[in-house]
Structure 1
Amino acid sequence: MNLRQVDVVGLGAMEACVFDLDGVLVDSEPVWEEVRRAFVADHGGTWQPDTQSRLMGMSTGEWAAYLHELGVELPPDEIARGVVEQMAARYRDDVPLMPGAVETVRRLSGRITLGLASSSPRRLIDVVLEAAELTECFAATVSTEEVPRGKPAPDGYLEAARRIGADPQKCVAVEDSSNGLRSAYAAGMRVIAVPHPRYPPAPDALALAWRVLPGLDALSAELAG
């Protein structure tokens, strides 16, 4: 099968498409890693070889607590505020959108209901969507700050489906990370994986995907039926 020509056969009956943000629409994982790695080093902690992969998908409270466990000499709420402020400052200078992100969202918007389920804090979700002029394309957006558990738990995707008014089993999710793929799959959604070249998902997580695409340009408008 030529992945660049995949038409996502069988998804015409889907009620909604729910996107992840980090690593799917915005190339933020390198920025997150740089900012958090420096924050840990500057505040007495020790970055571990598996730290970045473990952080991907965690909610704000979860990753702040984890950085504290790495030895950062601040309480988790102060860690979260410090890191998010630095991320917001970076985004004010430039939002590193993924290739095809704006075009794909705009192409699908209006043809199928779009949602977003992100591990980013609400503040950063809003900054990114506003800068990309995509806010109005989404019927609902969810930060895992707003649900009990972050990815790989299904809470964020289930809440996005609830806000949209869609059956999770009639939603397709677009994800890149191991925890994101596990989260969407656990929510009962059909999962399309668009792996990030620098942070590829684990093989067991990738095996949960219904389709694996090389980039957003391969996400066919057939999603709209």
Structure 2
Amino acid sequence: MSRKKFLLFDNDGVLVETENWYYEANVKALAEIDIELTFDVYMEIMARGGTAWEVARAQNISEEIITKKREQRDVYYREFIRTEHIEIYGVVETLEELKKEYSMGIITTARRVDFDLIHNDRDIIKFMDFSLCVEEYPRSKPHPDPYLAGMKKFNASKDECLVIEDSQRGLSSAVNAEIECAIVENEFTKTHDFSKATYNIKKFSDLPELLRIVS
């Protein structure tokens, strides 16, 4: 096995705690058209890489209304990430340690506008060689495209890379790209199927110890 040299991080739920707020923003926008988005339904949709707006289409809501409500959802989400506490304990300190030995990038399904809003006043991206958002590769997770694009930017082999994820959709993307994946335990995604993960860790700050073992 090649030594790991390149780390490809998911963003939401791994580096920042934003997933719950995205869910809440969808709930709030859908409630305005009298549609309930339950947590269990959202988890099933999220795991396979679908969209919360499937529940609106299932009730024959017009695409015009869905478009307007999605725009409102985006407003709610950006307000949440501006005002709520989304830091994950130990992330910055761990990245500072990892940067001494590894090249690192962020591979996210977030839009660039939201990603920049999250990271403008945080230290996380200063440790990264690059970030790729959903506009910057052909197909989103669970397709392999995002992580293959990250690997290509590093001009790396699959064996040299490790993906760090917290969702079934993200794990599927890594598996489809044939790149080993470490899952960081996250209360929000604990119901997801992580049976195909190469490694599992309890918290982000456990990553350096894992890498010492596997590298």
* TM-score, structure 2 as length reference: 0.84
Contact 1:43 1:73 in 2 (8 A): no
Aligned pairs (5 A) from 1:3-82: 13-48=3-38, 50-56=40-46, 63=51, 65-66=53-54, 68-71=56-59, 75=64, 76-82=66-72
Q: 1:211 — aligned with what?
A: 199
Q: 2:151 — aligned with what?
A: 161
Name the CA distance, whole Å, in 1 between partners of 2:210 and 2:70: 40
Q: 1:113 — aligned with what?
A: 103
Contact 2:30 2:69 in 1 (8 A): no
Q: 1:181 — aligned with what?
A: 171
1:43-96 CA-partner distances (Å, limit 9, x unpaired): 24342554321343677xx62653542545553543443222221122222341
Q: 2:124 — aligned with what?
A: 134
1:188-214 CA-partner distances (Å, limit 9, x unpaired): 111101121232153xx4121111110
1:1-41 CA-partner distances (Å, limit 9, x unpaired): xxxxxxxxx77x12310111111111112111111111111
Return 5+ residue gaps in structure 1 as ranges.
1-9
* TM-score, structure 1 as length reference: 0.81
Return 5+ residue gaps in structure 2 as ranges.
none
Report the CA distance between 1:222 and its aligned residue: 6.7
1:133-184 CA-partner distances (Å, limit 9, x unpaired): 2222111211223323222111111112222322233210111111111111
Residue aligned with 2:51, SS: helix
Name the CA distance, whole Å, in 2 between partners of 1:64 and 1:163: 31
Contact 1:190 1:210 in 2 (8 A): yes
Q: 1:48 to 1:201 in 2, by over 3 A?
A: closer
Residue in structure 2 matching 1:170, options 160, 177, 185: 160
Contact 1:108 1:221 in 2 (8 A): no
Identity over aligned pairs, percent: 22
Q: 2:75 — aligned with what?
A: 85
Name the CA distance, whole Å, in 2 between partners of 1:214 and 1:118: 21
Residue aligned with 1:124, SS: helix
1:122 aligned onto 2:112: yes
Contact 2:42 2:52 in 1 (8 A): no
Name the CA distance, whole Å, in 2 between partners of 1:165 and 1:57: 29
How many pairs does the alignment contain?
Answer: 211
Q: 1:57 to 1:78 in 2, by over 3 A?
A: farther
Q: Which amino acid aligns with 1:207?
A: S
Q: 1:19 to 1:57 in 2, by over 3 A?
A: farther
Report the CA distance between 1:111 and its aligned residue: 2.2
Q: 1:153 to 1:163 in 2, by over 3 A?
A: same
Name the CA distance, whole Å, in 2 between partners of 1:122 and 1:187: 23
